[in-house]
Chain A
């Protein structure tokens, strides 16, 4: 079992729709959860991080965490073509530094 699992996609959504990206993790000791966006050939850029169960909203993005189910998701409302990218889920164990484990990413395509 991979430590962080994501559906590789591609996930296609029409412009203006809600895109839902999902991630599961295997280590119950994971403490911090991150969503990164990565455009082709570029480095990952952080979109959201979440530590506590529940929802966290930032603009058009909402991260959801359920530690009991070991599940984290990212919702993108009013999807735009510029949101088309690979979205990487990453988790970190407590340890005092940012050694994160990434999933393989989900490719999102927003269709105009």
Chain B
């Protein structure tokens, strides 16, 4: 499978716990994006990496959220002290400069109970 891979696919956590998601982009893609999608809404942009540099962060990305892409390959998104409002599908996408669109992974569905 050469697409964008996200793990885990589903995560249930108790409020207040920390969670970490992983995204493995398509191998030659140097640009990586995180989006969040809540029920009945379209995906909302969270952050963007070019190689290992985090070049843009949405105001949606509160200080409880942190994203990294340490070697310019896979990326992690960590949520500290989860809240029920964090329940959503977290989507990762990647592309190259020459691509016309970014390619989405299957997402990680987070449920905070």
CA distance A41 to B112 in the complex (A): 17
Residue A71 interfacial (CB < 8 Å): no
Known: A98-B33, A99-B33. A43 touches B56 (CB 8 A): no
CA distance A34 to B102 in the complex (A): 11
| Cβ contacts B98-109/A at 8 Å (1 or 0 each) | 011110111101
Q: Are the CB atoms of A105 and B42 closer together than 8 Å? A: yes
CA distance A90 to B102 in the complex (A): 12
Q: Are the CB atoms of B31 and A97 closer together than 8 Å? A: yes
Chain A residues contacting B109 (CB-CB under 8 Å) are 41
Stretch at the interface among B11-19, B44-52, B62-70, B78-86: B44-52
For B103, the closest partner residue in chain A by CB is: A46
Chain A residues contacting B31 (CB-CB under 8 Å) are 97-98
Q: Are the CB atoms of B95 and A98 closer together than 8 Å? A: yes
Known: A97-B31, A98-B93. A90 touches B42 (CB 8 A): yes
CA distance A98 to B50 in the complex (A): 11
Q: Are the CB atoms of B50 and A44 closer together than 8 Å? A: no
Q: Are the CB atoms of A42 and B33 closer together than 8 Å? A: no
Residue B2 interfacial (CB < 8 Å): no
Known: A98-B31, A98-B93, A99-B56. A104 touches B106 (CB 8 A): no
CA distance A103 to B43 in the complex (A): 8
Query: Shortest Cβ distance from B56 into chain A, in angstroms?
Result: 7
Q: Are the CB atoms of A43 and B105 closer together than 8 Å? A: yes
Residue among A4, A88, A100 making CB contact with B45, cutoff 8 Å: A100
CA distance A34 to B50 in the complex (A): 22
User: Can you spell out 14 A-B residue pairs with CB atoms less than 8 angstroms apart?
Assistant: A41-B109, A43-B91, A43-B107, A44-B104, A45-B104, A97-B31, A97-B55, A98-B95, A99-B56, A104-B40, A104-B41, A104-B42, A105-B41, A105-B42
Query: Which residues in B have some Cβ–Cβ distance to A below 8 Å?
Result: 31, 33, 40-45, 48, 50, 55-56, 89, 91, 93, 95, 97, 99-102, 104-107, 109
Query: Which residues in A have some Cβ–Cβ distance to B below 8 Å?
Result: 4, 8, 32, 34, 41-46, 49, 88, 90, 96-105
